[in-house]
């Protein structure tokens, strides 16, 4: 398939934000986007990079009623010698295809989309922030667009990629966040769509998220939907607990998002010789470890959140403080290491980082 590039008229270029400290997350988008369409007779076609634009959708279309969609989140970094770097971006595209299979949507061609994504990032490279911790967020999205109200998989889809400069996901930045354990709502159950990156999982989280915010917490920590006791994940990140010298995170058993930062952290810890296990553990185990002093650190991992230390866990009316409410040494070491390799500042022993410009 041919990829057309239709650059924006210079007179229509948008102002690039100057103050990286005010970027926040996900509010600003660059001058261009990638888009292509799918139909059962033509497959994916009409691939182009063109000026950022609103989509025109039939009000009856599948995604607007039945949520048939999947998305990804990844970043391009401006680093050493003004180089532009991607981090494990093919893993995101692979995961997108896994989400597409679960949501009965056509898969994308990894090589083609990887190439289009790089061209888009380089075309809008002036939008990539210069400050450490800031990056160009890349949001691929696939939506079902059949104008039909019957419940069935769509036959027509739009795939597009948006990019925009971002700072820290949480207003706290790299400072520790507080999380609220939901024992009333659940996010996902095995056999459902919890392991797919699809809007429905985030829609399911909104009410709990709103209640957590009202109580002064940044995020919700989800427990498993059946026993309501095993730790699953946090709103926008996977989560790790350090019990004495061992780090534990929940296994990928069907209801948890298989995070790429999660996988990277596991591999980094193994390389460092820090014991790390994927196992089921309950909120009671966490609370009793906190009480005995065995709970050393808690941190979340995610593309948007990077490494996010947790200072407070709220469960059933009680606040439990972790690491004296500070950023623990392991969280800090992981954060520094990840950023150093993502920004091309230190050698990447894993071969995860690709310089594209």
Site residues (CB under 6 A) for ligand COI? 73, 236, 302-304
Distance CA(310)–CA(218), nearest Å, equals 10
Tokens 């667009």 found at: 145
Cα distance between the two ends of the chain: 23
Question: In terms of CB distance, is 137 or 157 closer to ligand COI?
Answer: 137
Least distance CB 194 / ligand COI (angstroms): 14
Yes or no: say if 164 and 28 are a contact pair by the CB < 8 Å rule: yes
Question: In terms of CB distance, is 236 or 249 closer to ligand COI?
Answer: 236
**Which pair of structure tokens corresponds to residue 137?**
């967020």
Can you give the C-alpha Rg of the chain in angstroms?
Answer: 21
Q: In the complex, which residue's CB is closest to ligand COI? A: 73
Least distance CB 25 / ligand COI (angstroms): 7
Helix (H), strand (E) at residue 248: strand 246-249
Q: Is the dihedral of CA 130, 133, 138, 143 positive or negative?
A: negative
Least distance CB 98 / ligand COI (angstroms): 15
Distance CA(124)–CA(30), nearest Å, equals 7
Question: In terms of CB distance, is 33 or 306 closer to ligand COI?
Answer: 306
Q: What is the dihedral of CA 173, 230, 102, 29, to 10 degrees?
A: -10
DSSP state of 169: S
Tokens 């597009």 found at: 160
Question: In terms of CB distance, is 144 or 300 closer to ligand COI?
Answer: 300
Question: In terms of CB distance, is 108 or 307 closer to ligand COI?
Answer: 307
Return the closest-CA partner of residue 310 out of 220, 211, 229, 187.
Answer: 220
Least distance CB 197 / ligand COI (angstroms): 7
Instruction: Render 88-111 in DSSP notation, one character per residue.
Output: SHHHHHHHHHHHHHHTT-PPPPHH
Least distance CB 189 / ligand COI (angstroms): 20
Distance CA(262)–CA(268), nearest Å, equals 10
Distance CA(141)–CA(105), nearest Å, equals 12
Question: In terms of CB distance, is 156 or 219 closer to ligand COI?
Answer: 219
Question: In terms of CB distance, is 17 or 302 closer to ligand COI?
Answer: 302
Distance CA(109)–CA(94), nearest Å, equals 10
Question: In terms of CB distance, is 93 or 295 closer to ligand COI?
Answer: 93
Least distance CB 304 / ligand COI (angstroms): 3
Question: In terms of CB distance, is 80 or 206 closer to ligand COI?
Answer: 206
- Three-class secondary structure of residue 133 per DSSP: coil
Least distance CB 73 / ligand COI (angstroms): 2
Least distance CB 222 / ligand COI (angstroms): 14
Yes or no: say if 228 and 183 are a contact pair by the CB < 8 Å rule: yes
Least distance CB 81 / ligand COI (angstroms): 26
Return the closest-CA partner of residue 15 out of 31, 36, 32, 4.
Answer: 31
């Amino acid at each position: 398939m041919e990829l057309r590039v239709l650059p924006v008229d210079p007179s229509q270029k948008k102002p690039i934000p100057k103050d990286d400290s005010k970027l926040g997350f996900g509010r600003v988008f660059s001058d261009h986007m990638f888009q292509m369409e799918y139909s059962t007779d033509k497959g994916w076609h009409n691939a182009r990079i063109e000026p950022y634009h609103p989509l025109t959708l039939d009000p009856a279309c599948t995604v607007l009623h039945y949520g048939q969609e999947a998305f990804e989140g990844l970043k391009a970094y401006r680093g050493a010698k003004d180089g532009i770097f991607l981090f494990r971006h093919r893993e995101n595209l692979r995961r997108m295809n896994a989400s597409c299979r679960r949501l009965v949507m056509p898969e994308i061609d990894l090589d083609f989309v990887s190439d289009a994504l790089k061209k888009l990032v380089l075309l809008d490279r002036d939008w990539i922030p210069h400050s450490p911790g800031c990056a160009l967020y890349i949001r691929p999205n696939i939506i079902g667009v059949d104008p039909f109200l019957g419940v069935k998989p769509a036959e027509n889809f739009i795939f597009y990629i948006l990019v925009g400069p971002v700072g820290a996901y949480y207003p706290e930045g790299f400072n520790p966040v507080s999380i609220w354990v939901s024992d009333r709502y659940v996010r996902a159950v095995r056999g459902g769509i919890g392991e797919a990156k699809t809007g429905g999982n985030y829609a399911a989280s909104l009410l709990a998220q709103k209640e957590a915010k009202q109580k002064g917490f940044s995020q919700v920590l989800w427990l498993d939907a059946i026993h309501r006791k095993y730790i699953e994940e946090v709103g926008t990140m996977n989560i790790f607990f350090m019990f004495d010298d061992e780090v534990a995170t929940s296994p990928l058993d069907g209801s948890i998002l298989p995070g790429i930062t999660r996988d990277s952290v596991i591999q980094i810890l193994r390389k460092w010789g820090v014991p790390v296990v994927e196992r089921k553990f309950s909120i009671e185990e966490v609370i009793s470890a906190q009480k005995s002093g065995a709970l050393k650190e808690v941190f979340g991992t995610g593309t948007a959140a990077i490494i996010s230390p947790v200072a407070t866990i709220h469960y059933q009316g009680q606040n439990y403080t972790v690491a004296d409410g500070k950023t623990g040494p392991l969280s800090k070491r992981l954060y520094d290491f990840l950023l150093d390799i993502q920004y091309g500042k230190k050698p990447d022993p894993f071969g995860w980082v690709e310089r594209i410009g």
